[in-house]
Amino acid sequence: MTTTIICPLCRHALERGDKVWRCKTGHSFDVAREGYINLLPVQHKNSRDPGDDPQMVMARREFLQADHYQPLRDAVLNSLAPLQAQSILDIGCGEGYYTGAFTKVANEVIGLDIARPAIRLAAKRHSNITWLVGSGALLPIANASIDIVSNMFTQLHIDEMQRVLKPEGYVLVVTPAPDHLWSIRQQLFEEVRAHDPEKFLSGFESLFELRSQQQVRFPLNLNQQGLHQLLQMTPYAWKAKQDRRDALAASEGHITEAAFSMLLFKRRML
């Protein structure tokens, strides 16, 4: 059964067509040449071109396509496979590196991101996935229609995720562990603060039960190109001082450790 996508304007179901999707009240949305649907109305935008810019998107695509983060992708798939999901919604999916692999563990996969350049790249590569430009704060997805929501490195809208999940649904959250890329951050910043992967747990308590929590750690041996891509795809590119960024980018390479916290939540029966 195909998940119901809803109109971002009137919240009625959209009927899917080859070239246009329409709701019963007359709103219509064209299918882009690459195959994605833009369901982010102008009035829902906070800027003209929200989300990551094309330069950041391309840097992330090149870095991930080199499989630097393949151990994380494998760990995510191993975590989701036993759940035997029919549908997965990947919020903040970016250019689709992780989303494209979700077809191995679910029959239907939907990728959503607020950045159109990212969705355009994703749709070109994976035609068997439903790609949506949309907001995680107001998901264009019907109530109680999704088995798993994936939220990797993006803003958490917990009420919205709970709304679209089936009664027995799950949320997978992946976020940096406290010492993720620590040695790189030491070179970029005078003071390095540890990430806090548990800072959002209290927001889940009333609606979800934490089922599992694990760390995924692996070494990264980056050449100059890989290091440059990593700097461009993260907030480090604009948070660090220019001279520190330039010094690190000029180095021939860098060995560091990637470390992530992976948390699996199950929706509580209310």
Domain ranges of the chain: 14-267
Residue 180 annotated as binding? yes
11 Cβ contact list (under 8 Å, min separation 6) = none
3-state secondary structure of 152: strand
pLDDT tens digits for range 39-61? 998 655 555 555 578 888 899 99
Residue 108 annotated as binding? no
Q: Compute how many other C-beta atoms are within 10 angstroms of the C-beta atom of residue 261.
A: 19
Band (pLDDT 50/70/90 cuts) for residue 252 is confident
Above 90 in pLDDT, residue 208? Answer: yes
Residue 9 DSSP code: T
Above 70 in pLDDT, residue 241? Answer: yes
Band (pLDDT 50/70/90 cuts) for residue 173 is very high
pLDDT tens digits for range 101-118? 999 999 999 999 999 999
111 Cβ contact list (under 8 Å, min separation 6) = 90, 93, 96, 99, 119, 122, 126, 129, 130, 131, 132
Residue 10 annotated as binding? yes
Average pLDDT of the chain to the nearest whole number? 92
pLDDT score of 84: 94
pLDDT score of 191: 87
Task: Give the residue among 211, 221, 193 at the shortest CA–CA distance from 262.
Answer: 211
Q: Are 73 and 97 in contact (CB under 8 A)?
A: yes
State both tokens at 17: 């067509």
Q: Are 175 and 36 in contact (CB under 8 A)?
A: no
What's the CA gap between 213 and 217, in Å, rounded? 13
Query: Can you tell me which residue has the tokens 């191995």?
Result: 104
pLDDT score of 242: 84
Question: How does 155-193 read in b/e, with b if 16+ C-beta sit within 10 Å?
Answer: ebbbebbbbbbbeebbbbbbbbbebbbeebbebbeeeee
What's the CA gap between 160 and 147, in Å, rounded? 14
Class assignment of domain 14-267?
A: alpha beta
pLDDT tens digits for range 8-50? 999 999 999 999 999 999 999 999 999 999 999 865 555 555 5
Residue 36 annotated as binding? no
> How confident is the model over 202-225, as a mean pLDDT?
95
pLDDT tens digits for range 79-89? 999 999 999 99
Residue 93 annotated as binding? no
pTM: 0.94
Residue 23 annotated as binding? yes
3-state secondary structure of 253: strand
